[in-house]
Every structure is written in structure tokens, then in C-alpha cells.
Amino acid sequence: MEIVVRPDRQAVCDLAARLIAARLRARPALVLGLATGRTMSDIYARLVAMHRTGGLDFASAASFNLDEYIGLAPEDPRSYRAYMQAELFDHVNIDPVRTHLPSGLAADTTAEGAAYEAAIVAAGGIDLQLLGIGENGHIGFNEPGSSLASRTRDKTLSRHTRAQNAEMFGGDPAAVPARAMTMGVGTILAARELILVATGAAKAEALARAVEGPLTAMVTASAIQLHPLCLVIADEAAAGRLT
């Protein structure tokens, strides 16, 4: 694992976007694993700018997002599908057919998880997985206690995560869906390359436990220690508890 510390959030997002763009230029049919959330927005804004002004070409790329809230339709503005359309997909030339998120409306979540795994395999596997980190150390929505071998499935969200994500739900943690479909830790580890991005002091403790702590299902981000090709990009605030 390589850890790169940049002075601030802007510099972190610049580097992450430049690396993603470089991978895409080297391999136009790149299979991207994508994340949502506040950390990712600035990265996607940069990719959109590179598409508009630098011709960054998504025409042959495919994408698989980490997760989706259970109970939200794709059209729901609070869904992760809506986030991805608004932040990235609507502004670049990616083929909509090749953009994937787990369905939040599947009646059978076990079947949906299996179908999502099969779709990733059919696409040739994920080349580059982008990750944020939760304040509780989650990656995707793999909450503390998730199996490190887990695959795409439904997961109950912790109180901490619902509070962390309440902003989109009128600030009310109780309004945040209680469950989500998420790639498992095992799914994430199967990607050929990982880039984990962390910004802000609120992530410092989680990042230190992920990178320097013992490998534990209680901090699912610690599983990145097992990956042979993993880059962590943090700003100084998020890196503040690293030794």
C-alpha cells in the first residue's frame, strides 16, 4: 500500500482525478468501480472538466458503483443513481447501458447481489475501484462487523452512518434508509487496483485504524491492507493521526 498526503482537499481530488484519467487514457475500455458521497463530488467535477476541455473519453468505459439505498427508486434525487447521473454520467460520454448500480428496489436482494456480481464478472472484473471511507471505517456500506470475504448483498446501516449521511435527508438520520445494497469487502478486494480517498479531520481516526491498525472486520477499510495495488490519498487533516 502506498500513502500519499496532499495539503488539502483540492489537491487530493486533483491527484485522484488525474490518476483516473490516466488509467482511462491507457485503457479506454476501463471498468471503473465508483463511489458516491461528498469526497467524490470534486473528483467527478474534475473528470467532467477533463472531458469537456481535454477530450477525456468515456465512450468505451463501463462502471459499477459500490452501493445503493434500499427503498429508493433511481429517479429519487436522494438515490445514488441520481447522484451519479447529476455528478458524472449526464456530463460525460459514458454509455448509459454500461453504468451499473445495484438496484435499491429488488424484491429479492440475494438474487440482486448475485446478479450484480455476475455482471461485474461478465464485464471482465473491475480495473480500478475508487473508495471513500466512512467515519466508522466502512468502505462501500460494509459496516463494522461485515465479513471481509463478503460479496454484494443487503446490509443494515449503522446509526453512525445514517447520521453521517443525513444531510441529503433533511438532516434527519431516521429518514435515511435503514438498509442498502453494497458490494462486499471481497468484491472490492477483487478489483485490480484500489484508490482510497480521505479528506477532513473527521476521517483521521478511521484512516489511521484502516491503514495502521490491525486487520479487522470492525474497520472494513483495514481490508485494503490485503490488496497488492492500493493507493491511499489523504489531505493533511485526514492524515493527522497517522504515525
Residues that bind ligand F6R (CB under 6 A): 35-39, 66-67, 132-134, 138-141
In whole angstroms, how close is the CB of 55 to ligand F6R at the nearest point? Answer: 28
In whole angstroms, how close is the CB of 85 to ligand F6R at the nearest point? Answer: 14
What does residue 69 show for φ and ψ, rounded to 5 degrees?
A: -70, 140
Pairing, β 67-69 against β 179-182: antiparallel
In whole angstroms, how close is the CB of 70 to ligand F6R at the nearest point? Answer: 14
Of the two residues 138 and 151, which places its CB atom closer to ligand F6R in the complex?
Answer: 138
Residue type for position 18: R
Residue 138: active-site member: yes
In whole angstroms, how close is the CB of 161 to ligand F6R at the nearest point? Answer: 7
Among the options 51, 143, 165, 235, which is catalytic? 143
Among the options 51, 100, 138, 227, which is catalytic? 138
Closest by CA position to 140, among listed 37, 3, 23, 21: 37
Please give the sequence-ordered ranges of beta strands (E in DSSP) within the chain, or none if there are none: 2-6, 31-34, 62-65, 67-69, 99-100, 128-131, 153-156, 179-182, 193-198, 230-235
Of the two residues 4 and 163, which places its CB atom closer to ligand F6R in the complex?
Answer: 163
In whole angstroms, how close is the CB of 183 to ligand F6R at the nearest point? Answer: 8
CA distance 37 to 225: 23
Give strand pairing partners of 32: 63, 128
Q: Kindly state the cell numbers that stand for 52.
A: 469537456
Of the two residues 57 and 240, which places its CB atom closer to ligand F6R in the complex?
Answer: 240
CA distance 116 to 187: 10
Of the two residues 30 and 221, which places its CB atom closer to ligand F6R in the complex?
Answer: 221
Among the options 42, 67, 112, 127, which is catalytic? 67
Among the options 65, 100, 136, 235, which is catalytic? 136
3-state SS track over 38-74 = HHHHHHHHHHHHHHHHHCCCCCCCEEEECEEECCCCC
Residue 67: active-site member: yes
Contacts of 30 (CB under 8 A, 6+ apart): 23, 24, 60, 61, 62, 127, 128
Of the two residues 41 and 60, which places its CB atom closer to ligand F6R in the complex?
Answer: 41
Q: How far is C-alpha 87 from the geometric centre of its chain's CA atoms?
A: 14
Of the two residues 12 and 133, which places its CB atom closer to ligand F6R in the complex?
Answer: 133
In whole angstroms, how close is the CB of 105 to ligand F6R at the nearest point? Answer: 18
Q: Residue with the closest Cβ to ligand F6R?
A: 132
Which residues does the annotation mark as catalytic? 67, 136, 138, 143
